[in-house]
Every structure is written in structure tokens, then in C-alpha cells.
């Protein structure tokens, strides 16, 4: 963990890629007390497209109207 003062952080924010490249976490201190913690960005999980999801679903062999009619006949 890298520790910076508020002044160092303020001066370094003009080039954050250099400032935070080697550290996984940066703690910003003000008069010896921590005031901020800068963490790396966690990559987002990729979400499948709706089209890909729908294509992966199995198609129903029997139409739903036939299933509903069969169910209603069984209840009578």
C-alpha cells in the first residue's frame, strides 16, 4: 500500500497513470490521519446480450395453447 500526503496527491493528480500504476491501493493522509483510500477499478463482469440468451433457450415442441387446453381438460 502506498501512502501519500494530501499535497502529494493533489500535485500527482495531473498524471494519475504514473502516480497509481505501481500501487494496488493508495492511502491519502492529512496530518498523519487517513482521509481517503484510492482503490483500483475492478473490471465489470460481461453481460450476455439478450439475443444470445434467447438463442440459448430451448424451443418448446408443443405450442402453449395445446398445453393449456390439455391442462383445462384434465381439471374438468
**pLDDT surpasses 90 at 12:** no
Strands of the chain (E only): list them.
2-5, 26-30, 33-38
β-pairing verdict for 2-5 and 26-30: parallel
- Which structural domain, as residue segments, surrounds residue 31? 2-38
Tell me how far apart the alpha carbons of residues 38 and 42 are, in angstroms, rounded to a whole number. Answer: 12
Residue 16, in any domain of the structure: yes
The backbone torsions φ and ψ at residue 26, rounded to the nearest 5 degrees and listed phi first, read -125, 130
Q: Note the pLDDT tens digit of each residue in 35-65.
A: 999 888 888 888 889 999 989 998 888 899 9
Residue 20, in any domain of the structure: yes
Residue 32, in any domain of the structure: yes
Residue 25, in any domain of the structure: yes
What is the total count of domains within the chain? 1
Place 33 in a pLDDT band, splitting at 50, 70 and 90.
very high
**pLDDT surpasses 90 at 74:** yes
Residue 68, in any domain of the structure: no
Amino acid at each position: 500500500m502506498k501512502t501519500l500526503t494530501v499535497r502529494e496527491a493533489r500535485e500527482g493528480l495531473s498524471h494519475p497513470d504514473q502516480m497509481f500504476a505501481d500501487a494496488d491501493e493508495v492511502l491519502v493522509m492529512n496530518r498523519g490521519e487517513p482521509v481517503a483510500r484510492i482503490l483500483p477499478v475492478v473490471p465489470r463482469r460481461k453481460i450476455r446480450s439478450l439475443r444470445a440468451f434467447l438463442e440459448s433457450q430451448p424451443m418448446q415442441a408443443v405450442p402453449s395453447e395445446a398445453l393449456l387446453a390439455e391442462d383445462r381438460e384434465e381439471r374438468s
